[in-house]
C-alpha cells in the first residue's frame, strides 16, 4: 500500500526533527565526526563517521516525500578475486536487517536502506546509524582483503 506524499510542511517538520536528533547524537557520540547539510533545495544530510575497520565514512540521509533513505559508499569495485568478493557480499547481505548491499556508480559497493516517514523516530535513527556502523565494521575489511588481496600481501 503506497502512502500519499508528505506535504512540504510535514517534510519541514521531519527535517527539523532529524536536524535536532543529529545535533544531539553528534554531541553524545564520539563516532559522529561531523554533520553537514546538502545543497540548497535538497533535504539531505551528510553524517561523517569515524570507524575502526574503515577509518572515516559518510552516511547520506535523504528525506523524500515518502521515505528517509540512507546510503554509504562501502568499497570500490574489486581488482581481483571477483567471484569470492561478490560471494562474500551476498553472504553478508543475507544477514543485514533493514540494509542491503548494492552495486552503484563505477561498480562500487554501497550499503543502503530506507524507512517510511511515519517511522522516523529517535529510536529508528539510532537503529539506522548503529546498524550501518556495525555492517561497515563487519564487511569492509574482509571485502578489501578479498578484492584487493595483492595489496595486502607483505
Q: Domain total for the chain?
A: 1
Q: Look at residue 95 and tell me if it is in a domain.
A: yes
Supply the Cα-derived Rg of the chain in whole angstroms.
17
Is 18 part of a structural domain of the chain?
A: yes
**Is residue 125 a part of any domain in this protein?**
yes
Average pLDDT over residues 117-132: 96
Judge whether residue 2 has pLDDT over 70. no
Assigned domain for 42 exists? yes
| CATH number, domain with residue 46 | 3.30.1460.10
- Asked whether residue 2 is domain-assigned, the answer is no
Q: Per residue in 26-38, pLDDT tens? A: 999 999 999 999 9
Q: Residue 107: give the domain boundaries.
A: 8-149
Is pLDDT of 154 > 70?
Answer: no
32: Cβ–Cβ under 8 A, 6 or more apart, which residues?
22, 25, 26, 47, 48, 49, 50, 129
Residue 122, in any domain of the structure: yes
Digit-coded pLDDT (tens) for 43-78: 999 999 999 999 999 999 999 999 999 999 999 999
Q: Is the pTM of this model over 0.85?
A: yes
Cα distances from 82 to residues 29, 54, 107, 119, in angstroms, run 36, 21, 12, 37
In a domain, 23, yes or no: yes
Residue with cell 557480499: 89
Residue 154, domain member (yes or no): no
Amino acid at each position: 500500500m503506497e502512502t500519499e506524499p508528505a506535504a512540504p510542511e510535514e517534510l519541514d517538520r521531519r527535517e527539523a526533527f532529524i536536524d535536532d536528533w543529529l545535533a544531539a547524537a553528534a554531541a553524545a557520540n564520539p563516532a559522529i565526526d561531523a554533520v553537514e547539510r546538502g545543497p540548497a533545495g535538497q533535504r539531505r544530510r551528510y553524517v561523517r563517521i569515524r570507524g575502526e575497520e574503515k577509518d572515516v565514512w559518510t552516511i547520506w540521509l535523504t528525506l523524500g516525500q515518502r521515505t528517509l533513505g540512507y546510503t554509504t559508499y562501502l568499497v570500490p569495485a574489486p581488482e581481483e578475486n571477483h567471484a569470492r568478493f561478490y560471494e562474500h557480499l551476498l553472504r553478508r547481505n543475507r544477514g543485514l536487517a533493514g540494509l542491503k548491499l548494492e552495486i552503484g556508480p563505477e561498480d562500487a559497493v554501497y550499503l543502503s536502506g530506507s524507512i517510511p516517514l511515519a517511522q522516523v523516530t529517535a529510536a529508528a535513527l539510532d537503529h539506522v546509524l548503529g546498524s550501518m556502523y556495525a555492517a561497515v565494521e563487519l564487511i569492509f575489511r574482509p571485502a578489501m582483503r578479498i578484492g584487493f588481496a595483492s595489496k595486502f600481501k607483505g
